[in-house]
Structures are given as structure tokens and as C-alpha cells.
Amino acid sequence: MQQKIVLIGGPGTGKTTVINNLTKRGFNCMPEISREVTLEAQQKGIEQLFLTEPLLFSEMLLEGRIKQHKKASELHSNIVFFDRGIPDVFAYMDYYNTNYPDKFKEKSNTFTYSKIFHFAPWKEIHTTDNERYETFEEAVKIDSFLTKAYKELGYQLINVPFGSIEKRTNFILNSLSGE
């Protein structure tokens, strides 16, 4: 049975760096798609789609993450890693106090994952850029909404310790091989 492994945490916690390391090591990985959606909107003149049209942005993310989940199921691979999962979408909407239809939580229950690795906020590595505009303090608050969302869905979170990219990647792989 294929394991679908999600890396979660607030912005700037090192998830994408570890996903890139896993990809380099030959693992199948599904990238974070929110930057892609944000850049696409910016090309159409909408600076921060999530802030101006949070429901539209979230619909696009939900659709993209469901496509990733389905695509992963088609891969002939024992393990597929995801840079964020479907529940991240409603967790962010909860953080921004945005009303949304029930389908966001329903899809989170339909398209499930095997394990969730949590990357806690880490001030020393947190940075901002054109697509990641959240301060460290905001990242900490977002992280609490993310962990709450996954726990409400019944997931147990595995906390990834701070350390080098190699140590963090090895921690995840060792956690999976120790079963």
C-alpha cells in the first residue's frame, strides 16, 4: 500500500527545502502549489489573490491539491511526499476567519494521508519574499491553525526536530523505515 506523507508547518519552516532534498534523493514529491497560484494571479495583475479573493484562491488550491493526491495514486511508488496537504487549505481560511463551504473539510476526509510530519516555526530560518509575506509571529499563529486542523481530522503529528537539511530529511526517512 502506498504511503502518502505530508510535510506541514507555517511559512518558512523548511518544508520545501526538505522536499527538494527528498526529490534529489530520488523520491516522488508533490510540490507546494500556492506559490504557483499566487504567481499566476500576479501575472493577471492581482498582487495577493489570497488576501483579495480568499475563497477563489482556496478553491484553486483545493483543486490543485486533489489533483496531486490523485496523481500520486497513479504513481508506481511506495512513498509519495507532499509539500502541504489538502487540510492546509481550510486551516488557512480558519486563520483568516474566512467562511467556506463544507466541501473543504469533506475533501480532507475523502483524500487522506498516511503520516504527517510537522515543521515547527523556527525563527533562525524564517524569511519573507514576494510570495511569502507572513512575519514570523504570523507564521507561529498559522502553525497553530494547521496543527489544529490535522489533529481534528484524527492525524497524529510527528515533530521534525530542528537541524540541517540532511538531518531533517534523514529523521523523516528513518521514521518511515522504523516501522
Q: What tens-digit pLDDT sequence spans the chain (179 residues)? A: 899 999 999 887 889 999 999 999 999 999 988 877 777 777 777 666 666 677 878 888 898 899 999 999 999 999 999 999 999 999 999 998 888 999 999 999 999 999 999 999 887 765 655 555 677 788 889 999 999 999 999 999 999 999 999 999 999 999 998 65
pLDDT of residue 178: 64
Task: Please tell me the total count of domains within the chain.
Answer: 1
Strands (E), 44-177: 79-83, 115-119, 157-160
Q: Which domain holds residue 32?
A: 3-177
Model pLDDT, residue 12: 79
Which pLDDT belongs to residue 138?
A: 84
| End-to-end CA, the chain | 14
Distance CA 124, CA 126 (A): 6
Could you tell me the CATH number of the domain that includes residue 151?
3.40.50.300
Quote the CA–CA distance of 115 and 178 in Å, as a whole number. Answer: 13
pLDDT on residue 130:
53
| Among candidate residues 72, 38, 32, the one with its CA nearest the CA of residue 53 | 38
Prediction pTM value: 0.90
The pLDDT assigned to 131 comes to: 52
